[in-house]
Structure 1
């Protein structure tokens, strides 16, 4: 077991990040202890890393503990929690926009990534066209049925495991037949290396989009979600997302949800940090 202290540049609001992670029942989060236990897989080795906040909004510090793979773990956690992103720069950009009040209310909220790109894509597929509560229930059933628990923390099933599933097995969990086929298909593509997440990390947003949109079951919303929460891309604004539409309606006190031309106009000044505008708008209605 090793332990490392990590200090980063503020502002960084880990408590707001934890409250968002806590929405997913599969995440091992302790709000009072300011702790999240992160499942990490390096090749065939599964490691649980404890991340505990010990600092403040302005002076963020963390203690990280894990059993092995210190360098890989710290690098991956830096990626997941975006510890190398200057959030003050993002905050200052929005001070001259109409979202100034929102960014002041949620100062230092980071764009925290899903713990693994494969599970991020699978989760997006499961969450399609169902309400959030049932989406989390379905995902929890899926992971508890076919995943693995290590030291009390759930790991999503591997691509190889997902590829071998039968549609009937997922139908028993209340998946639709089509959604079951999509999930198994992504498992097959990943297990056969036709879908390479390490390669996607090196590609531009447009290239990633072209690659993913070919996959059965993957539409624009799923691509945008993946770019934002699996790859941490900073400039995504999913205009088709109902949550963003509702948040804009509430924030700007509109009679109806905004249409696409309205949203295009709103988002212009938020470039090149549209992902943060999206995140903070979601936060405002969660």
Structure 2
């Protein structure tokens, strides 16, 4: 390996292909580039843009710095970021044992073996993304996200291509509502986003502060006390950024559709059956949500089979 490359080891069941699936679901995500065997992503490392490329390796993942030369402390940050982003330290076997004993979901450990809960390490980004996605479809949400990122985020150029970084709270704290309205934010969402940015920029909310709270309910309350953040947004951010394993985004449309598809519920209002299901996955609720989301999308082989049958 050259001096700009480091190995991130993975000791437990891990599938790079499954993680690539999640990151590349035919949405226009401007924060990473996916090819069949690598991920490219730009990061702010010690205040400077750096472009990394992640590839599969026999013992885990190889992370190469394609552009930018961080100090050794920056290299440590990159390794920790990738580990957190892809949840590489998690031992999935206890979760798989619970799944294997379930009459309906028992197929999942084999079919989705090695899929990790892909996170959003930056809490501010996770909350902004949740606000953007409220009450609109994902395709439109990604379009608005791209407009925001390209207007206010930093970027780094490599091989004639621009790689974008999500805006910091400081870059959005003094934004005018009208500027966001021109990007097709609603007035309320623009107001919520600016207020959130000001809160983070003032140091009144951050990931470290939230993580120090004693339990899930206190973290939920700290987030739902912020204008524009309801319980779904709070649970989503806790699940994706703090990797809160017991966080469930109740009412999520995808989750409800997956539960109906598995005939675990007949009606989306059947909260009793939903609670009963999750009670059997204590400490793994967020992972169960993630795997149920995964079940809504066909594998590449299933897509190919479907395409052949439709000819």
Moved more, 23-32 or 5-14: 23-32
Deviations 1:55-100 (A, max 9, x none): 3xxxx52111223211121122211111111122321232112321
Say whether residues 1:140 and 2:146 are aligned partners. Answer: yes
Distance 2:147 2:164 in 1: 11
Out of 83, 86, 91, the position equivalent to 2:91 is 86
Distance 1:137 1:212 in 2: 26
Say whether residues 1:29 and 2:40 are aligned partners. Answer: no
Residue matched to 2:211: 201
Unaligned runs of 5+ in 2: 298-311
TM-score (structure 1 length as normaliser): 0.92
Deviations 1:8-37 (A, max 9, x none): 1231112111121123521323231x2112
Alignment RMSD: 1.8
Out of 49, 73, 83, the position equivalent to 2:52 is 49
SS at match of 2:190: helix
Deviation at 1:261, TM superposition (A): 1.4
Say whether residues 1:9 and 2:11 are aligned partners. Answer: yes
SS at match of 2:280: helix
SS at match of 1:129: coil
Say whether residues 1:109 and 2:106 are aligned partners. Answer: no
CA contact (8 A) 1:224 1:238 kept: yes
Structural mapping, 1:146-225, within 5 Å? 146-151=152-157, 152-203=162-213, 204-225=215-236
Deviation at 1:43, TM superposition (A): 4.5
Deviation at 1:115, TM superposition (A): 4.3
CA contact (8 A) 1:50 1:64 kept: yes
Deviations 1:148-194 (A, max 9, x none): 21233211111111111100001101110000000101110011111
Residue matched to 2:42: 39
Out of 130, 134, 140, the position equivalent to 2:136 is 130
SS at match of 1:140: helix
Distance 2:99 2:108 in 1: 9
The number of aligned residues is 281
Distance 2:46 2:255 in 1: 36
CA contact (8 A) 2:131 2:229 kept: yes
Moved more, 240-249 or 82-91: 82-91
Moved more, 98-107 or 267-276: 98-107
Deviation at 1:270, TM superposition (A): 1.5
Distance 1:209 1:134 in 2: 27
Deviation at 1:214, TM superposition (A): 0.8
Unaligned runs of 5+ in 1: none
SS at match of 2:52: strand
